[in-house]
Amino acid sequence: MANRKYIVGNWKMNGLQSELSDISEIASIAAAHPSVDAAICPPVTLIASAASHNSAFAIGAQDCHFNEKGAHTGCVSAAMIKQAGASFSILGHSERRADQHETDAEIKAKAEAVHAAGLGAIICVGETEEERDAGKAVHVVCGQLEGSFPDKADSSWLTIAYEPVWAIGTGRVPEASDVEEMHAAIRNKLGKLMGEGADAVRILYGGSMNGGNAAELLAVPNVDGGLVGGASLTAEKFGPIIEAAAAA
């Protein structure tokens, strides 16, 4: 289990130039809590300006293509997001697995592409409500992890985010005991996939994390940080989560 908590904001399809002031305000809070690794993933259109607006935290992308270049209209490559100022990318978010039908094999290829470009990756995994109700949550999540797990993985560039699909944007959060069970299962699976280095890979929790529940979630064993959607959009909401991570 890593010592430094990692708090990542995923802005999804939110954010115009006018919202860059939020990045600056969040940067001030992050700078006041240097014991926390904070990051924001704005839409790709804001990566360059967000990167030049702050030096207190990392800027990431929300996705990139697995090919270096070519005829893929509307897509961006790892080298492109890197040149814009991103130091990592979220990959395999459940919204992309659902909306863009992304497969584990594509996510693995994307992770290997970002690593080859010298970037980090946060690979997302998580079960649907039907899968949890059917008692298959651990099986599904560990299957996603195995299928999307890149070659040459190590903690210097790879992070895993557990995001139960039914908790995203719903205000519903799993019981701490369920989060603990899943993060332990992910840790165990990482051990099988990569051996010793597994303990140092950070495993984030995501899904309706906010200033009110962050302290409890971040205290769960094997929860090394959070991947935050709605509550990352303003300093007012994201600040308390960074503060909770600093106190954890």
Cα 65 off chain centre by: 17
Residues numbered 195-214 forming contacts with ligand 13P, rule: CB under 6 A: 206-209
- Judge whether 93 counts as a catalytic residue: yes
Cα 112 off chain centre by: 16
Least distance between ligand 13P and beta carbon 210 (Å): 7
Total number of residues shown for the chain = 248
**R_g of the chain computed on alpha carbons:** 17
Active-site entry in 95, 131, 163, 243 = 163
- Among residues 168, 182, 194, 235, which is the contact residue for ligand 13P, using CB under 6 A? 168
Contact (CB, 8 A) for 204 and 225: yes
Least distance between ligand 13P and beta carbon 68 (Å): 26
- Among residues 5, 6, 7, 10, which is the contact residue for ligand 13P, using CB under 6 A? 10
Q: Strand pairing partners for 38?
A: 7
- Judge whether 163 counts as a catalytic residue: yes
Which ranges of the chain does DSSP label H, i.e. alpha helix? 20-31, 47-53, 78-84, 94-99, 104-116, 129-133, 137-148, 176-194, 214-218, 235-247
Least distance between ligand 13P and beta carbon 227 (Å): 5
Least distance between ligand 13P and beta carbon 34 (Å): 24
Q: Which is nearer to ligand 13P, 125 or 194 (CB)?
A: 125
- 169 near ligand 13P, rule: CB under 6 A: yes
CA distance 200 to 221: 13
Indicate the residue whose CB is closest to ligand 13P. 229
Site residues for ligand 13P per CB under 6 A? 10, 93, 163, 168-169, 206-209, 227-231
Please give the positions annotated as active site: 93, 163
